[in-house]
């Protein structure tokens, strides 16, 4: 019996050993399989999970917030502005004229914390961030233009604040004037999940020649679609090392984007304003595109003759707030009985010519402005055709500037324009009537927003009864109507 008990105990131990061996063998096999999987997926494949701005992150974010059928809204814009603490004292009025607190998303990146009159920080301004300290990076790269490196780096810093939920990144300067409703309407026509780089070229030919005709000028606003913004942010440090020898932030940005495989899509409504002096001749003959931005207001005369720069900006915003879609859009009509041509730059100015002049000629800006820098180069100086200033009574316009606006009904918006000054010229001799007596012009336009502007509007002189008032009504051009 004792031997039977011993035999049973031995069998039980052997059985336990077999179980342990089997378990051990299973664990070894599992470990080998796990190790091979780890080697294959973790070592031989890129480690996307460690990449903050990786493709997988982009795809997840797009699925979560961007890849929807919902219309593009102002909340889909992420705005990054680059400025300086010293400059903000006199430039904040430009930004506050269009910034909408609690409605817009974005930041102003300053070079240092605000002090003095800037504290406490105005609730009418965008929230601010102090730019990253790049001292070590600048020393390592021996950067040619440290301030320009900081400006480009601001793209990554803006994206870092908002990892998701935006469709378009809009970068600008602390004196950029944006017309965000028009921006939204323009960008809504494009697929934000694709790679887009929108911007404006310089008005001055040599600026484009010296830098690049394929480059957007940053103060006018650079617009990046979501995947491009992420890709650019992800490559930021590497790209800044590659192009540390360049001395223009906009040029560096363009080079970085080119390395991603994307090129500039220029837009005629984005304006750098590389001009000097009186730009009323430029603003009065805007191309047939929605106005998206203006820049360099510190470098030009106030755009309204009786106001300073800040007042002029806010005054223009009065008409912009009434109807951005028509702002600066040129409409031309004729008063045949008096032989007059009338050119309206909605919300800014009206010009009366004492001669019938074709639209093809009137669409060219009058050269009231000067070149961005003095140059001995022969013309052309600009990226568009111009008309020279003239003392010819038949070619020099009577000039009226925007005064006020009011929505007079659900279907109509009223804008008024007052004469700027006397023309001090005799009447045109081509059988025309003098327009010297006209001092006020009233314009009525439809209250319906114009998003599709494949064709300009037409207009009619509704009344001119011998008083000093002229009334004009804007309307859609009739099929086959000829503006002549």
| Averaged pLDDT for residues 468-473 | 96
Burial of residue 212 (number of CB atoms within 10 Å: 0-12, 13-18, 19+): middle
Q: How many CB atoms lie within 10 A of CB 327?
A: 24
From 50-59, 132-141, 375-384, the region with the lowest mean pLDDT: 50-59
Peptide bond before residue 145 is cis, with ω within 30 degrees of 0: no
Closest CA to 404 of 331, 275, 469, 316: 316
In whole angstroms, what is the distance from residue 174 CA to residue 20 CA?
Answer: 73
More confident residue, 373 or 463: 373
> What is the H or E stretch that residue 461 is in?
strand 458-463
In 3D space, the residue among 454, 459, 423 whose CA is nearest the CA of residue 444 turns out to be 459
- pLDDT of 68: 58
Percent of the chain with pLDDT over 70: 85
Query: CA 267, CA 348: separation in Å to the nearest integer?
Result: 21
Q: List, for residues 175-209, the tens digit of each pLDDT value.
A: 999 999 999 999 999 999 999 999 999 999 999 99
How far is the C-alpha of 8 from the C-alpha of 219, rounded, in Å? 91
Mean pLDDT of the region 428-439: 89
Helix or strand or coil: residue 180?
A: helix
pLDDT of residue 326: 98
Instruction: Band the pLDDT of 162: cuts 50, 70, 90.
Output: confident
Higher pLDDT among residues 17 and 263, named by residue: 263
Residue 392, pLDDT > 60, answer yes
Task: Yes or no: say if 357 and 396 are a contact pair by the CB < 8 Å rule.
Answer: no
pLDDT higher than 70, residue 427: yes
Question: What percentage of the chain carries pLDDT values higher than 90?
Answer: 81
Radius of gyration, alpha carbons of the chain: 31
| 181 in Cβ contact with 324 (< 8 Å) | yes
Q: Is it the case that residue 432 has pLDDT exceeding 80?
A: no
Q: How far apart are CA 139 and CA 16, in angstroms?
A: 68
**Res 21 pLDDT > 70:** no
CATH number of 71-266: 3.90.550.50
What pLDDT, in 10s, does the model give residues 83-103? Answer: 999 999 999 999 999 999 999
Q: What angle do CA 454, 334, 443 make, to 5 degrees?
A: 70
Q: Do 318 and 311 meet the contact criterion of CB atoms below 8 Å apart?
A: no
Q: How far apart are CA 36 and CA 22, in angstroms?
A: 21
The pLDDT-based confidence of 421 (bands split at 50, 70, 90) is very high
Confidence of residue 35 (pLDDT cuts 50, 70, 90): very low
pTM: 0.85
pLDDT category, 75, cuts 50, 70, 90? Answer: very high
- The residue-averaged pLDDT of 125-145 equals 98
| Torsion over CA: 241, 243, 246, 247 (sign) | negative
Give the residue-averaged pLDDT of 311-330: 98
pLDDT at position 7 over 60: no
- pLDDT score recorded for residue 467: 80
pLDDT per position as a tens digit, 222-279:
999 999 999 999 999 999 999 999 999 999 999 999 999 999 999 999 999 999 999 9
Give pLDDT, residue 463: 81
């Amino acid at each position: 019996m004792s031997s039977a008990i011993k035999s049973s105990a031995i069998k039980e131990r052997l059985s336990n050993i077999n179980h342990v061996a089997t378990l051990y063998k299973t664990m070894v096999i599992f470990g080998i399989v796990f190790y091979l999987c780890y080697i294959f997926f973790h070592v031989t494949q890129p480690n996307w999970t460690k990449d903050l701005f990786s493709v997988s992150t982009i795809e997840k974010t797009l699925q979560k917030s961007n890849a929807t059928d919902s219309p593009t809204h102002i909340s889909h814009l992420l705005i990054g502005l680059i400025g300086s603490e010293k400059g903000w004292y006199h430039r904040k009025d430009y930004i506050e004229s269009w910034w909408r607190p609690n409605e817009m998303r974005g930041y102003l990146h300053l070079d240092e914390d605000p002090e003095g009159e800037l504290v406490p920080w105005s609730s009418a301004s965008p929230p601010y961030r102090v730019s990253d300290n790049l001292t070590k990076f600048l020393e390592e790269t021996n950067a040619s233009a440290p301030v320009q490196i900081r400006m480009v780096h601001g793209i990554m810093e803006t994206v870092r604040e908002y990892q998701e939920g935006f469709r378009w990144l809009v970068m600008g300067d602390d004196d950029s004037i944006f017309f965000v409703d028009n921006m939204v309407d323009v960008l809504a026509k494009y697929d934000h999940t694709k790679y887009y780089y929108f911007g404006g070229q310089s008005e001055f030919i040599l600026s484009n020649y010296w830098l690049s005709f394929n480059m957007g000028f940053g103060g006018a606003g650079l617009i990046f679609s979501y995947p491009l913004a992420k890709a650019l942010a992800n490559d930021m440090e590497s790209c800044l090392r590659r192009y540390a020898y360049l001395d223009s932030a906009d040029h560096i940005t363009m080079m970085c984007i080119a390395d991603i495989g994307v090129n500039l899509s220029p837009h005629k409504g984005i304006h750098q304003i590389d001009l000097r002096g009186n730009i009323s001749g430029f603003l009065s003959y805007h191309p047939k595109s929605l106005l998206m931005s203006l820049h360099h207001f510190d470098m030009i005369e106030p755009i309204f003759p009786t106001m300073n720069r800040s007042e002029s900006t806010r005054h223009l915003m009065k008409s912009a707030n009434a109807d951005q879609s028509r702002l600066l859009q040129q409409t031309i009509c004729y008063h045949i009985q008096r032989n007059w041509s009338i050119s309206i730059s909605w919300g800014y100015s009206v010009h009366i010519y004492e001669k019938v002049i074709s639209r093809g000629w009137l669409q060219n800006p009058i050269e009231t402005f000067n070149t961005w820098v003095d140059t001995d180069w022969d013309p052309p100086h600009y990226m568009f055709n111009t008309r020279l200033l003239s003392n010819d009574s038949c070619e020099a316009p009577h000039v009226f500037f925007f005064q006020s606006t009011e929505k007079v009904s659900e279907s109509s918006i009223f804008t008024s324009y007052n004469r700027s000054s006397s023309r001090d010229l005799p009447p045109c001799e081509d059988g025309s009537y003098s327009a010297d007596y006209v001092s006020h012009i009233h314009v009525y336009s439809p209250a319906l927003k114009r998003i599709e502007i494949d064709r300009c509007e037409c207009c009619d002189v509704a009344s001119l009864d011998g008083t000093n008032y002229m009334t004009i009504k804007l309307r859609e051009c009739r099929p086959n109507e000829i503006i002549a």
